[in-house]
Amino acid sequence: MQGHLGIDVGSVSTNLVVLNDKSDVVAWIYNRTEGKPIKAAQKSLHEIKEFLPDNLDISSVGATGSARYLAGVVVGADIVKNEITTHAVAAAHIVPDVRTVIEIGGQDSKIIILRNGIVLDFAMNTVCAAGTGSFLDHQASRLSIPIEEFGRYALKSENPAHIAGRCTVFAESDMIHKQQVGAQLEDIIYGLCQALSRNYLNNLAKGKDLEGPIVFQGGVAANLGIRKAFEQTLEQKINVPKYHHVMGAIGAAILAKESRPEKTKFKGFKSCKTDYLTSGFNCEGCSNSCEVVKVQVSKKTLACWGGRCGKWEEVGTK
């Protein structure tokens, strides 16, 4: 049995998925990155092995996410792709006629416009937390409500509070004001959900034609309040895939499978025990002064990346 591994290492979560030759999910793992992408990737690789059939061999590996190059070196990836590509591929696999992808993660958010399965336009928000999952996490903590309960509270709202969502600081002060004037908890929570959806659409969707079918993915897609807020604003049904939280990894696995490597670069599950060392330096070869990252094992450099000209990407250069 052939398996295809996808790994998505982001700033908040590290996700691994194994697909079979029909691109069905055989196993998946979702873990927190906690600022340690190598450890998170190795831990997830060790854990997913326990869910795989004994007769399954990994024949291709794809990596994506903000730490995709690092993950690719640690695991041994055959392809490394950006998040826009992998999320678009995964969405089109689940909903073949998808035309709009809404993706909201812990630290960033994306919108992808597809036509006939091809990415026509996209936008990303990586500079403001107000349109991301961390915004809701922070407000849930302040309200002493588990984030998993946010959606249930939001659906009870009959008179949602209007909360400024363009900035986390303003949103928090506005939320406190609503509490002080006696607004119901469920109305405040749904107001926060509406604020996040409003911020997302104002920042990322401006000037874009959001046609259906619309697919909502990322960890925040589990929040029923956010889904309802998007459906009310867009006046369209929102599709949330079963594996919405690991779609980047699914897309990476599909692309790896389609690349059909003669021999995979996968280092095997033993790589979860290897001690990797990362370090950085500034290249002074020109005025760009690029910050280059290198990965080493036993003082041997496995890979470098980060330079604009590409001269450090040759393995073992420094």
Distance, in Å, from the CA atom of 5 to the CA atom of 18, rounded to the nearest integer, reads 5
> How does DSSP assign 212-254, residue by residue?
SSEEEESGGGG-HHHHHHHHHHHTS-EE--TTGGGHHHHHHHH
Whole-number Cα distances in Å, 161 to 20, 142, 182, 183, 193: 47, 17, 11, 7, 10
Q: Where are the domains of the chain?
A: 2-86+249-273, 96-240, 277-313
For the chain, helix (H) and strand (E) counts, in that order, are 9, 13
| pLDDT tens sequence across 40-78 | 999 999 999 999 998 999 999 999 988 898 889 889 999
User: Which regions of the chain are under pLDDT 50?
Assistant: 315-318
CATH superfamily of the 2-86+249-273 domain = ATPase, nucleotide binding domain (3.30.420.40)
Is it true that 2-86+249-273 and 96-240 share their CATH fold? yes
CATH superfamily of the 96-240 domain = ATPase, nucleotide binding domain (3.30.420.40)
End-to-end CA distance of the chain: give it in Å, rounded. 40
pLDDT of residue 206: 84
pLDDT of residue 257: 96
Only one residue has tokens 């990303």, namely 124
pLDDT of residue 313: 67
State the Cα angle at 121 between 247 and 89, rounded to 5°.
Answer: 25
Run of H or E residues at 100: strand 100-104
